[in-house]
Amino acid sequence: MVKSTPYWRLKMSKSTLTPTVRALGWVSLCTDFASKMVYPITPIFLTSVLGAPVWSVGVIEGIAESVASLLKLYSGWLSDRVGQRKPFAVAGYGLGALS
Average pLDDT over residues 33-47: 88
Look up the pTM and report it: 0.57
pLDDT tens digits, 64-88: 999 989 988 998 898 889 888 888 8
The CA distance from 80 to 14, in Å, is 29
- Tell me the C-alpha to C-alpha distance, in Å, between residue 90 and each of 11, 51, 82, 84, 98: 30, 36, 15, 11, 12
